[in-house]
A and B are shown apart, each in its own frame.
Chain A
Amino acid sequence: MSPPPKITRRGMTIGGAVAIGAALVAGGIFEGPRLFKRRARGRYADLVNRLENPEQAALVGRAVLDGAYQGFRDDPPFEEEASSDLRERLAENSISQLMSSDSEMISHMVEADGWVIPVVLAELSILAAKSI
């Protein structure tokens, strides 16, 4: 029986670095989108960062602003009102619940370049577009 290998400090340092590197690479494959997702900053970050991917939501938001919500493209009062309303509603409900509730009414449907989405998602997406 041979003696166990001697673990040196240098060996531990190299091993640790390799392990961290491997974890990062693995993360890049399986969790990449999450690691490198752009998060929103600014006044609406608390709302927008509730979305899985604020950057993708911003794309949707820009499409909404190009269509039905064109008049609100540069409208700070609208943003304030929408954000404060969303904060109030999201204090007691999840986004999913609000989307389901919107989906009960055709008047609560909004188009983003033709994509039919609930108004709550349209407004969150607009705020994402304003934040990213």
Chain B
Amino acid sequence: MSGFLDARTIPAGTSIETDIAIIGGGPAGISLALALAATPIRVVLLESGGMNFDRKTQDLYAGPKSGYPYLKLDASRLRYLGGSSNHWGGWCRPLSEIDFETRDWMPHSGWPFPRKEIEPYFKRAQSLVEAGPLVYDHGAKWLKAYGAPLALGEGGVYTSWFQFSKTRDSVLPTYFGHRYGDDLKRIAHLSVYTHANVTGLQLTPDAAKLDRLDVATLSGNKFTIKPKIVVLATGAMENARLLLASNDVATAGIGNGNDLVGRFFADHAIPRDCATMVVFNGQFASYYITNTTERGAILRAAFSPTETYQREKKLVASLTTVENEVKLDELGQAAVATTASAFGIDASNAKAFSMGCGLELTPNPERRVLLTDERDALGMPRLSLRMRASDGDFLQYRETMKELGRQLLAARIGMIRLNQKTHGDWLSVMDWGNHHMGTTRMSADPKLGVVDANSQIHGVGNLYVAGSSVFPTYGASNPTMNLVALTLRLATHLRKVFA
């Protein structure tokens, strides 16, 4: 049987056998199903929602939160086919080499492999997110006709580049469910069950393997899936929830022998108006402010610390974008006029811009999701989130921006104001990327990670995790294209398992 099936119509008590069961129909789950399409491997994809938003299904995500202000748990992600790609902004950028390294100044950092391990998958990932040709740090050359990037003085910050996902004939980013729904229907050995919620991962009595999945619908239907291999692809919050809640054989939860599942939750801090940049002559290539389309690529420039500078100054990763033009107050005007005139530069046409940022957080085991006593409509324990952010990360970011200010002065082209300083300042402008990561972190050492370098849960032979929940360190790049690349690497591994 293939195609799309409504789980509410499956006879209760049915047991469905398959080679691979993918739990979750977001970017990771759909990419994996597509990557296995050309194989004879029988795949079942279980999606909790349908094709569109449904409030009752979305409510399964609800749960309390504490600590740093954060979006509601049922607002920061979406539970229907396509998952959170149904509200993503389409920002793409591959992780950098340093993002994979163990950084001596950053506790708990480092992947079990270097960037080159997933590099071969970026091209296909770029294609799946429909971000056009792989340009990124060749953006300046690609957009030569739009003018040169700011000629920053030599130093620790450089102009880096984002690319953007797009759907064909539209400016919207790729919503995986809508975009690939028909492609999924055409895959001979794939069955997509909509409205199918996995409520339990049932281990064999020796806890060495996963035996079956309990599936329930909000209409009250229940059946089971008997897969050879399971891939958990429900996002960083839900992956942890399912593992922790499946605690009848492994009493601490599956893969949680070392109390790591749900810990190290991460997101990108997105403080608004973190700096004001002034360009003395007001001349500024438009690609710093707006997305610029050229030969199939949509590009936007951003400021990033170089890897050398990050290592030298021990900094978190960050990507700073130029936002809207702003007016300066009296002191700002005085600072600009005094600085420019002391350089002997005419600043009568100077322009000022507010800057926004995407900031990496240092991994923190206390920033975590946990099960609560409260139950959802399916009887599953709800999650709670303990959000934390370290002032140290913001201080490191401030250093990066100060360096950018220095470089602008050294080049005599502009200057910067650092708009936020205190804990309260940062809080007042804080936003989040809703890039959930880290709760099933990857490490070759079972004591330090939930999954191994192949994304397999340590100690459970046939259970894998796909998605950014396995990211042990995060970088500043948006996760979607990176998690798709990582999922394609997992597909290669699974093909070998079935070969």
B342 touches A116 (CB 8 A): no
* Interface assignment of A80: CB less than 8 Å from any CB of chain B: no
Task: Evaluate contact between B342 and A52: CB separation under 8 angstroms.
Answer: yes
Segment among A14-22, A81-89, A94-102 that sits at the interface with chain B = A94-102
Question: Are the CB atoms of B338 and A52 closer together than 8 Å?
Answer: yes
- Cβ-defined partner of B415 (8 Å) among A52, A63, A117: A117
Chain B residues contacting A63 (CB-CB under 8 Å) are 331, 335
- Is A131 engaged at the interface, CB distance under 8 Å to the other chain? no
Shortest beta-carbon distance, A131 to chain B, in Å? Answer: 14
Q: Are B409 and A116 in contact (CB under 8 A)?
A: yes
A53 within 8 A of B: yes
Q: CB-CB contacts of B411-432 with A at 8 A, as 1s and 0s?
A: 0100111110100000000000
Among the stretches B22-30, B220-228, B236-244, B399-407, the one at the interface with A is B399-407
B330 surroundings in chain A (CB, below 8 A): 59
Count class of interface residues, chain A: 20 to 34
The distance in angstroms between the C-alpha atoms of A53 and B347, with both chains bound, is 13
Q: Are B338 and A96 closer than 8 Å at their CB atoms?
A: no
Please report the number of residue pairs spanning A and B whose Cβ atoms sit closer than 8 angstroms: 88
Q: Is A60 close to B, CB under 8 A?
A: yes
Contact, CB under 8 Å: A121 / B337 = no
Q: Are B342 and A99 in contact (CB under 8 A)?
A: yes
Q: Given A109-B402, A116-B402, A125 and B338 touching (CB < 8 A)?
A: yes
Task: Report yes or no: B421 in contact with A116, Cβ–Cβ below 8 A.
Answer: no
Other-chain contact of A114, B343, B412, B421 (Cβ < 8 Å): B421
Return chain A residues, CB-CB under 8 Å to B335: 59-60, 63, 112-113, 115, 117
Interface residues of A, dominant DSSP: mixed
CA–CA, A63 to B339, complex, Å?
Answer: 14
Q: A106-B402, A111-B418, A114-B421 are in contact. Are A56 and B409 (CB under 8 A)?
A: no
Shortest CB-to-CB span from B260 to chain A, Å, is 38
* Contact flags A105-128 to B (C-beta < 8 A → 1, else 0): 110010111111110010011000
Central interface residue in B331, B333, B342, B416, by most chain A CB within 10 Å: B342
Distance to closest chain B CB from A75 (angstroms) = 22
Q: With a CB–CB cut-off of 8 A, which chain B residues contact A116?
A: 402, 405-406, 409, 415-418
The closest CB in chain B to the CB of A109 belongs to: B406
Instruction: Return the contact of B338 from the options A60, A94, A113 (Cβ within 8 A).
Output: A60
Shortest distance from the beta carbon of A130 to any chain B beta carbon, whole Å? 15
Q: Which chain B residues numbered 482 to 497 have a C-beta less than 8 Å away from chain A?
A: none
Chain A residues in 8 Å Cβ range of B344 = 94, 96
Please report the C-alpha to C-alpha distance between residue A63 and residue B335 in the assembled complex, in whole angstroms. Answer: 10
List residues of chain B with CB within 8 A of the CB of A99: 339, 342-343, 409
Decide if A103 is an interface residue (CB 8 Å cutoff): yes
Instruction: Evaluate contact between B402 and A115: CB separation under 8 angstroms.
Output: no
Chain A residue at smallest Cβ distance from B340: A52
Query: CA–CA, A29 to B344, complex, Å?
Result: 22
Q: A115, B412: Cβ atoms under 8 Å?
A: no
Known contacts being A96-B344, A106-B403, A109-B402, is A114 close to B334, with CB within 8 Å? Answer: no
Spell out A's residues near B (CB within 8 Å).
51-53, 56-57, 59-60, 63, 94-96, 99-100, 103-106, 109, 111-118, 121, 124-125
